[in-house]
Amino acid sequence: MPRLGPAFFDRPTLAVARDLLGALLVRRIGRGLVAGRIVEVEAYVGEDDLACHASRGKPGKKGRAAGLYVGPGHYYVYMIYGMYWCLNVVTEREGFPAAVLVRALEPVGGVHLMRRRRRAARRERDLANGPGRLCQALSIDGRFHGKSVESRSLWLERGDPIPEKEVIRCPRIGVDYAGNSKDLPWRFYVRTSECVSVRDPEAERLPDQSARSMA
DNA sequence: AGATGGATTTTC
DNA sequence: AAAATCCATCTC
């Protein structure tokens, strides 16, 4: 499958997020390959999004959030709760802070390598069904922060498209602190996947999820 | 339900 | 300088 280049990410963040569903995230570790199909993502868009790191601290391109301004197709990797890494891909034009957080993968290849790094996971579906877990499973850490998606050891490939009917759109996880941004429906996941980290029963009951405005 | 634990941000 | 907070996960 062809790799996704920077141009793929140089688009509105919600469209990128939606289209990343079904794509493959591939990691090369030495001679081994570890790969997963993306089944859950979240969009973080601009300084006005109170859940986006760019809304914190001093406005502008300083500190941690600087990594969100670097232009489309770069990884933004940060540590959370002092223990776990989270992988984002920066979107939109240079100078505008936005990214897509990759929240869950369905294991596709190198499952034995994932198990080695995810001893706590008993079932295969638990190997990468969370933003911290997938970084453990694929051995992704701060070394990838700021790197390009054209990296030789971590990249994305186009996968089979996910039909609109299978896409669930709902509010993001863990952003209750984000005031008026907390209910924005900027999380997308694949309804039929067993590897979604947190399901949203209410959203799954509603018809025609992602046909709503992307604005 | 509670513990974890480092970087970042906010408050004093 | 100190306290609070965090895009989470594991164990109990």
Q: What is the pLDDT of residue A25?
A: 98
Q: What is the pLDDT of residue A214?
A: 54
Closest residue to B6 (CA, C1′): A82
Q: Answer whether A198's CB lies under 8 Å from A172's CB.
A: no
Closest residue to B8 (CA, C1′): A64
Q: What is the pLDDT of residue A61?
A: 65
Q: Kindly list the protein residues whose beta carbon lies within 7 Å of any strand B atom.
A: A 53, 56-57, 63-65, 79-83
Between CA A197 and C1' B2 the distance (Å) reads 21
**What structural domains and CATH numbers belong to chain A?**
6-205 (3.10.300.10)
Give the Cα separation of A50 and A43 in Å (integer): 12
pLDDT digit string (tens) for chain A, length 215 residues: 799 999 999 999 999 999 999 999 999 999 999 999 999 999 999 999 999 999 987 666 678 899 999 999 999 999 999 999 999 999 999 999 999 999 999 999 999 999 999 999 999 999 999 999 999 999 999 999 999 999 999 999 999 999 999 999 999 999 888 788 899 999 999 999 999 999 999 999 987 655 555 55
CA distances from A144 to A48, A119, A147, A177 (A): 26, 23, 5, 28
Between CA A133 and C1' B1 the distance (Å) reads 22
Q: What is the pLDDT of residue A207?
A: 72
Q: What is the pLDDT of residue A107?
A: 98
Q: What is the pLDDT of residue A62?
A: 73
Closest residue to B5 (CA, C1′): A82
Q: What is the pLDDT of residue A208?
A: 60
Between CA A81 and C1' C5 the distance (Å) reads 10
Residue A149 makes CB contacts below 8 A (sequence gap 6+) with A3, A4, A5, A6, A9, A73, A74, A75, A89, A155, A156
Closest nucleotide to A82's CA, by C1' atom?
Answer: B6
Between CA A36 and C1' C4 the distance (Å) reads 36
Closest nucleotide to A120's CA, by C1' atom?
Answer: C10
Q: What is the pLDDT of residue A5?
A: 98
Between CA A114 and C1' C1 the distance (Å) reads 42
pLDDT tens-place string over residues A22-41 = 999 999 999 999 999 999 99
